[in-house]
Amino acid sequence: MAPKKAPVEEPPPEEAEPAEPPPPVEGDERELESGLKLVLRPNDVGKIWAQSDYASQSQLLTELLGLEVAHPAEARRDIVCDFHLFNLMHAKTLCLTQRQGAVFGTIMALVLDMMAGWPMHAESEGSELPDVPPLRERTFDETVAAPTAAQCFQQYERLLLQHSVNAPPSRLAIFGSSEARLLSDYASTTLFKHALLYQFCARCEREVQTLRFNIDLDRPVVPPDLATAKKKSSRTNTNNTPAADAESGAERQEKTTGDSVQEGPSEEDEIQRIVEEKLQETEARLQAKLEAREDAFRARQGQEAAGA
């Protein structure tokens, strides 16, 4: 009997080479050929520009950059949000494209990170999540001295020139010479002019001072008993007839006399009495002057008649 043949081992199947990921759609790229990782995609910049008011723009920008996690303090988060938003809106006023706005916003963000001592966006973004901003708090090493404004401007100049010269792949002509000049003027009069203020806001927490006051309040007095209340007399008389005046005067006198026995006159009655006395004195004084003038006038007429 012929010996059996040994089973022939089949060669293992060749592993298929992993397919290259499709290139990103135009406007959704996160990284340029120069190696610059964009903090915002061009289409994200277009979405921000499409918003009609500041509130919706800042809310969308905060979500895209993950500022609520990166900057838990509301004061610092608002400053960083306004910084990025004003940069993008200035790019829009210069009629830049969405891609140019994304590159300029990234350059300004990298310079701000360097100025504040935060880790760069390009270092903090993971390759496994290229479309998600760094979702962690931005901190800095207190032992490392903050860079000067001159050093930050050198970094800005290097990044801007790298994306203003057509020498791919390390250099890309994203901006023209006139656009680069306008952007440099803007950066000089905003970020670098107030570099120390930006460093202070980025590296120092806002001081919160709590003040407590002890205020002594008097206990309210007990209201008088309404059962013993009495109706006060009216100041003005509705009837102008002499009989009504005499009757009201008699009633007022009787009431005043009765009240004076029980309790002293009220403040309003005292004021009314003083006013009436002053009016009577004034009336008597004016009447005396009038009579004196009439007597003098009649005496002058008698003298003129006698002389004639």
What is the three-state SS of the chain? CCCCCCCCCCCCCCCCCCCCCCCCCCCCCCECCCCCECCCCHHHHHHHHHCCCHHHHHHHHHHHHCHHHHCCCHHHHHHHHHHHHHHHHHHHHCCCCHHHHHHHHHHHHHHHHHHHCCCCHHHHCCCCCCCCCCCCCCCCCCCCCCCCHHHHHHHHHHHHHHCEEEECCCEEECCCHHHHHHHHHHHHHCCCCCHHHHHHHHHCCCCCCCCCCCCCCCCCCCCCCHHHCCCCCCCCCCCCCHHHHHHHHHHHHHHHHHHHHHCCCCHHHHHHHHHHHHHHHHHHHHHHHHHHHHHHHHHHHHHHHHHC
Residue-level pLDDT at 133: 46
Same domain membership, residue 276 and residue 157: no
pLDDT surpasses 50 at 209: yes
Q: What is the pLDDT of residue 126?
A: 38
27 within a domain of the structure (yes/no) = no
215 assigned to some structural domain = no
Task: Classify residue 10: in a domain, yes or no.
Answer: no
Domain assignment of residue 198, yes or no: yes
Please say if the pLDDT value at position 175 is more than 90.
Answer: yes
Higher pLDDT, 71 or 23: 71
| Domain-located, residue 131 | yes
Percent of the chain whose pLDDT exceeds 90 = 36
| pLDDT computed for residue 213 by the predictor | 84
The reported pLDDT for the residue numbered 132 is 42
| 48 and 194 within one domain | yes
Within this chain, do residues 71 and 186 fall inside the same structural domain, yes or no?
yes
In-domain check, residue 243? no
Both 183 and 46 in one domain: the answer is yes
pLDDT per residue over 80-126, tens digit each?
999 999 999 999 999 999 999 999 999 999 999 888 887 755 443 43
Domain that holds residue 308: 271-308
| Whether residues 84 and 171 fall in one domain | yes
User: Average pLDDT for residues 266-284, to the nearest whole number?
Assistant: 88
Same domain, 155 and 280: no
The residue from 203, 231, 261 where one domain ends is 203
Same domain, 55 and 158: yes
- 173 and 277 inside one domain: no
- Note whether 55 and 190 are same-domain residues: yes
Residue where one domain finishes, among candidates 174, 203, 232: 203
Query: Which pLDDT does position 260 carry in this prediction?
Result: 46
- Any domain includes 213: no
Q: How many domains does the chain have?
A: 2
Mean pLDDT in residue range 179-199? 92
What average pLDDT does the segment 47-60 reach? Answer: 93
pLDDT of residue 10: 66
| More confident call, 130 vs 254 | 254
Most confident of 18-22, 201-205, 272-276: 272-276
| Whether the model pTM is above 0.75 | no
| pLDDT at position 123 | 41
Q: Domain end: 203, 233, 257, which one?
A: 203
Mean pLDDT computed over 261-268: 66
pLDDT at 267 over 60: yes
Same domain as 127, residue 275: no
Instruction: Note whether 148 and 276 are same-domain residues.
Output: no
